[in-house]
Structure 1
Amino acid sequence: MNRTGRGSTRPGVRAPLPSGAYAPSSVHRVSSADNPVVEFEGEDGRRRTFDFAQCPLPGWHPVLAEVLAQRVGPAGGLRTSTSSLAAWNNLRAFLRFLQARIDCPGDPSALTVAHVNAYTAAEIARAGPVYGARRADHVWRLLRLEPAASVIDAGAIGALRLRGAGTPGGGTPGYSDGELALIVDTARRDVMQLRDRLQATETLLGRLSLDPARLTDIERADALRLAEIAAEGVAAPGRGQGFNAHRSRQELAEPLFVTRRDVPAMLVLLVAVTGRNIETVKELPAQHRLLDGRAVEVQLTKRRRGAGRWVQTVTWEIGPPGRELHHPGGVYLLLHRLMACGRELSNGPSSFWAVWRNLRRQVSATVNEIGNPFAAALTAGIDARQWGLDQHRLRGDDGQPLPVSFKRLRTSVEVRRTRALGGHLPSAARSNTAAVLFRNYLQADPVAREWAQEVASDAIAAAEQAALDEHRSALAGPARPTVSGQPSMSLDASHQGGQEGPWSACRDVSSHPATGRACRSSFLDCFQCGNCLIDSSHLPRLLALLIALEQRRQQMTEERWWARYGPAWAAIRSDVLPRFTPAEVARARLAQVPDALLDLVDEPWEHP
């Protein structure tokens, strides 16, 4: 390629290409001990090495190494360290199970359906039907690939696919409003104490550099010691040994750096104000862009979104002065500033997290004790449960200890945002689809269910009240049906123009009270008409009509049902039935009547 620089490509001129064929580097290699090895480098930058020397049954190794390389390679579906490790661990467990059998298959071609059935039964007995099926599914996704699929019996591979095993319950329930407020307020108070602690040291060091003569001897000695630690990032071990030395080093570093004890409260507050999951929070970048001093723009890592969709740009509001800790941008910038000193001393300045590590061994001034605790693995041994129970002894609404879970915290945040947006899932689904939001966050949460039931009840009550109001307004005019408990009243319809209907009688079908012309209204509109005559002989058919209307209500939306059948249902329930005694209604329920004939009022294309 010798065409470089501006103008080297333009319409009609092909882009320069490297000479020779492109050969991507292989993730599958053979170790010095002739064992297959698969190298993994994920989208999150983490690497792993899967050495088949750790697995039994050497006859399986060459085939399994090739299919594993496909799954965890650049074009595979497993692109995170955790997911690749899950596939590897389940594959090793599968080989260990086969090795323990009397009829152990020494190579893939000897695997039978009986082997697989015994393996799946053992996994289900150990982990339950749902997670046992998941473990078998990891193995199935490997063995269905070539070259394993061509040497293993197809029936044995298919037996690994346990259909109908189900999935774990629809999400994790969140916290109540009181519990959520308690957790967030506690985390915010811890972050404020952390801010005050580091700012006090920053003020002391500033006074030392500006006018050390104004400091007392004790303040000067403390400031010099802290300045030395800040320059090297190392807290010298105390005179004691064991736990005493560990605690003394912790006390030396806390005035200057964010320590591991501070991280749980920071994580809780970030998840609560940003509404992002804990994985995204742990991989926050240090790079950001301020927008007019009112917002901050950050590129987030959103896992499990498919190739090329891992990065998402968000804009977080900073908030007004004094309220920064209630807004995601304000929390991000504050924590970014608190870890700035440690970030300068760490080896990863691009990472948001720069936490001081209290090493349990003798260290020299050249050892860096500050770094990203989530660089190697996202777990990092930092537990919010211990922070809530041991450090703060949080109690729930029932008075019992309240464990802090990031899954429950995220669910609570999603529920509150959905409720604030009126339950409109497409608007509330910020980092997931509406289906994922409902299935994983809203479906199993009691607060969301209670709120949704209240909204649905209010909507139904409002629709019912609207139908009743419409019926009462119709009754206020001259058009009012006549109801009587005497069965002979319908005989009045035998005079000229009278006619019997499916649920009532009509005085004169040739003259509608409102128009004076022949009636062309639906039979359901008779209940709003002054020509309508209802007596006790119609009562059984009216009760059958109510049953049919309730059945039709289950087949269509509430809005459509109230618009189509609501006025008639309201008229019968509120104006007709109260005119009869309870004994008459009970007697009519026992009468045998034909079908309610509701289809008479619907065209064929209007059927639900």
Structure 2
Amino acid sequence: MLPAGTYEVRSAIGRSARGSVCVDFEGEDGRRRTFDFADCELPGWHEDLAVAVAARIGPGGRLRTAASAVAMWSPLRRFLRTLAGMYEPPDCPAELGVEHVEYFADSVSATMQPVYAQRIVEHVVEVLRLMPPTGRVPHEVLDVLRVRTSGVHRHVPAYSEGELRRLVAAARSDVNALRDRIAQGRRVLAGLDGGVEAERLRTVAVGGRLERLRETNSAARMLFPVRADLPAMLVLLAAVSGRNIETIKELPAEHRIVDGKAVEVKLTKRRRSSGRWHQTVLWEIGEPGQELRQPGGLYLLLHDLMESSRALASDPRWFWSYCRHRHQGPHGSPFRGSMTAGIEMGAWAARHGLKDDAGAPFAVSFNRIRTSVEARRTRQMGGHLPSAARTNTVPVLFRNYLRDDPATVEWAHEVIADALNEAEQAALDAHRRRAERTGRPKVFGDTALTTPAADGAWSGCRDADHHPATGRACRASFLDCFHCGNCVITPDHLPRLMALLDAMEERRQRIDEQTWWQRYGPAWAAIRHDVLARFTPEQVRRAGTAPDHDAVLDLVEDPWQQP
């Protein structure tokens, strides 16, 4: 409904209680932030920067989540702090000079890796581009920063198969232990099992608080997941579903089971344009007992394990919910306020004694898990990218996950080598079958030619009027001579044969492999295996270094066959 009367859009720029300039932000992920310039240096910049920040994070800006807005704010504060520390700091945007931004970029590059320094400078550039006319910075300053932000490809390599297997096995073991633990607590609560007193569990189940007292802590652990359980659940769900960790953290509790075989979930996929954030997927549930291996079954299992905690949370719409210490609130999602909840992945890996293939302590990275899953699926699909691309387009899958991954590149080289070997063997087999019908060429390595032969393009012919297969005058292509018993090859033909091989290799760069092998493969195999093998290496070497000969390959093919 449209508002009644005159509608005025509320400005995101305001004043804090201390009188400083501040900018309010409300993201598409439902999280809010207020960016206050009170603690920022150079007050002469604040008014104009507030306008630029509001444009960057407002409805028309490209930063649409709280995490991305915070990622912009921190570099901007660092930018002002660095300028304020210079001998002659610019008191307003108009005074900003090339020496200032070069000093800032150099100071950032000196304290972190180039990839992260690039991000810091990029955020500052995007804000400075949106400065209002009253605070516009000189053009030459932006030109310098644009050169420094020419773009850096950031690639995360995949885990090896062994590393991924160990990582997933550790996560699956913890989730399985969590399922058994909560199942036992529910049996005790229902009076079906002994152990911890049911009355104490009922008190914890109603209050839902994980106190610092050891006995209450152990009782709560029998009914609710705790913070120590989160790493294993996140790792396993990311590995089984193959989704980005941002999507995993923002899973909704609402879902629908379709025919008992799949679960329908509405996912939030970031880094898309406005209006394209949400995607509905169907995750397979799998057979009973396979819940830890199928995305739908794992989603439903974790949903059930966190159901008791979710019922006591202030906002039950979130999928993730665990029992927290009382000073943090009894229950809730660790990612409700921020996507960076400080989950200790390194401590979890160390607790399991995980090591990489080199024996070093294991570093858990969700980006590497995602890359590993994409690479594994691509290998399972035989390298067919349209079949392997499920959550991204084919160009994104290749550019961001496969192109620079060492394991995938090595596998691709092996596949290509196997394919070339198979193609070469197929061409050699075709040559041998044809040679069985028409004979093999006569190769004279050192002996003199005993029978006269008419000279051809790359070889001689003893009887062009009687083809071995038909008994009639030969009408075949000169490329077919290498499968004919009338063909004669002497050392004088070697330079032309080497030129022909070079011409074939050049033609290979211009047409697809399948066409090349069909058109030139049998002749190439015959020359390589039946002809050159009859000459000494020294003869072949001298022929290869002889003056260039015209291969006349174009003259022996019909015009319509030209690539």
Percentage of matched positions with identical amino acids:
53
Q: Is the 8 A contact 1:78 1:84 kept in 2?
A: yes
Contact 2:210 2:323 in 1 (8 A): no
Q: 1:446 aligns with which of 406, 412, 420?
A: 406
Structure 2 match to 1:284: 251
Alpha-carbon distance between aligned partners in 2 of 1:600 and 1:278, rounded to the nearest angstrom: 60
**C-alpha distance in 2 between matches for 1:400 and 1:101:** 42
2:283 maps to 316
Show the counterpart of 2:549.
Answer: 594
8 Å CA contact 1:480, 1:529 repeated in 2:
yes
- Measure the CA separation in 1 of the matches of 2:390 and 2:557: 43
> Which among 134, 143, 147 is matched to residue 158 of structure 1?
143
Aligned match of 2:434: 474
Question: Aligned partner of 1:116: which letter?
Answer: V
Superposition deviation, residue 36 in structure 1: 2.2
Contact (CA 8 Å) 1:64, 1:148: kept in 2 or not?
A: no
**Corresponding residue to 1:174 among 158, 168, 177:** 158
Specify the alignment match of 1:225 in structure 2: 200
Structure 1 residue 582: Cα displacement: 3.5
Q: Which position in structure 2 is the counterpart of 1:184? A: 168
Cα offset for 1:371? 0.9
Q: How far apart, in 2, do the equivalents of 1:122 and 1:521 lie?
A: 73
Q: In structure 1, what is the Cα distance between the partners aligned to 2:482 and 2:148?
A: 54
1:268 maps to which residue?
Answer: 235
Cα RMSD after superposing both structures: 2.7
Tell me how far 1:585 sits from its aligned partner.
Answer: 2.8
For 2:466 and 2:13, the matched residues in 1 are separated by: 90
State the one-letter code of the partner of 2:391: S
Tell me how far apart the structure 1 counterparts of residues 136 and 372 of structure 2 sit (CA, whole Å).
49
- Match for residue 584 of structure 1? 539
**Structure 2 SS opposite 1:326:** coil
Aligned mate of 1:72, from 57, 82, 94? 57
Q: Does the 8 Å CA contact 2:92/2:135 hold for their aligned counterparts?
A: no
Residue pairs, 1:525-604, within 5 angstroms = 525-601=480-556
Q: In structure 2, how many angstroms separate the alpha carbons of the residues matched to 1:74 and 1:95?
A: 25
Give the CA deviation at 1:101.
Answer: 2.1
**Number of the residue aligned with 2:37:** 52
Contact 1:98 1:104 in 2 (8 A): yes
Residue 303 of structure 2 is matched in structure 1 by: 336
| Aligned partners of 2:94 and 2:138 also within 8 Å | yes
Q: For the residues of structure 1 that align with 2:460 and 2:10, how far apart are their CA atoms?
A: 87
Instruction: List per-residue Cα deviations over 1:206-244 (Å, max 9, x = no partner).
Output: 127xxxxxx88xx5x711011011011124553xxxxxx
Q: Distance in 1 between matches of 2:211 and 2:4?
A: 57
Q: Which residue of 2 aligns with 1:10?
A: none
Three-state SS of the structure 1 residue aligned to 2:147 is coil
State the Cα deviation string for residues 337-383 of structure 1 (Å, max 9, x = none).
Answer: 11111111110111111101124x6xxxxx84111111111221112
Contact (CA 8 Å) 2:292, 2:298: kept in 1 or not? yes
SS of structure 2 residue aligned to 1:290:
strand
How far 1:551 moved relative to its partner? 3.7
Residue 109 of structure 2 corresponds to 124
The answer as to 2:324 corresponding to 1:369 is no
Could you tell me how far 1:332 is from its partner in structure 2? Answer: 0.9
In the TM superposition, residue 466 of structure 1 has moved relative to its aligned partner by: 0.8
Of the structure 1 ranges 439-448 and 380-389, higher mean CA displacement relative to structure 2 is found in: 439-448
Alignment partners' CA distance in 1, 2:431 and 2:110? 62
Shift of 1:600: 3.3
CA distance in 1, matches of 2:435, 2:187: 79
Give the 3 Å change call, closer, same or farther, for CA 228–104 of structure 1 in structure 2. Answer: same
Give the paired residue count. 563
- Indicate the residue corresponding to 2:100 in structure 1: 115
For residue 126 of structure 1, give the secondary structure of its aligned residue in structure 2.
coil
Q: Which amino acid aligns with 1:445?
A: D
Q: Is the 8 A contact 1:415 1:442 kept in 2?
A: yes
2:342 aligns with 381
CA 1:602 to 1:205, structure 2 compared with 1: closer, same or farther past 3 Å? Answer: same
CA shift in 2, pair 1:207/1:65, >3 Å: same
Query: What are the equivalent positions in structure 2 for 1:238-249 lying under 5 Å apart?
Result: 238=213, 247-249=214-216
- Which residue pairs with 2:272 in the alignment? 305
Map 1:245-256 onto structure 2 (within 5 A).
247-256=214-223
- 1:454 CA drift (Å): 2.1
CA contact (8 A) 1:294 1:317 kept: yes
> In 1, are the aligned partners of 2:35 and 2:73 still within 8 Å (CA)?
yes
In the superposition, relative to structure 1, how do residues 152 and 520 fare at CA in structure 2: closer, same or farther (>3 Å)?
A: farther
1:402 is the counterpart of 2:362: yes
Secondary structure in 2 matching 1:477: helix
Q: Give the equivalent residue in structure 1 for 2:185.
A: 201
**What CA deviation, in whole Å up to 9, does each residue of 1:567-606 have, x standing for no partner?**
1110101111122233433443443343434443457776
Amino acid paired to 1:373: P
Q: Give the stretch that moved more between structures: 459-468 or 401-410.
A: 401-410
Which residue does 1:81 correspond to in 2? 66
In structure 2, runs of 5+ residues without a counterpart are none
Aligned to 1:351, which of 303, 314, 318?
Answer: 318
Amino acid at match of 2:501: L
8 A contact 1:297–1:314 mirrored in 2: yes
- Residue of structure 2 in register with 1:41 after alignment: 26
CA offset digits 1:51-75 (Å, max 9, x no partner): 1222211221121111111110112
Structure 1: which 5+ runs fail to align?
2-16, 209-214, 239-246, 362-366
The offset of 1:38, in angstroms, is 0.9
Aligned counterparts, 1:439-518, within 5 A: 439-485=399-445, 489=449, 492-493=452-453, 498=454, 500-507=455-462, 513-514=468-469
Q: Per-residue deviation at 1:297?
A: 0.7
Which secondary structure does the structure 2 equivalent of 1:102 belong to?
Answer: coil
Given candidates 363, 375, 378, the residue that maps to 1:415 is 375
Which AA in structure 2 matches 1:120? A
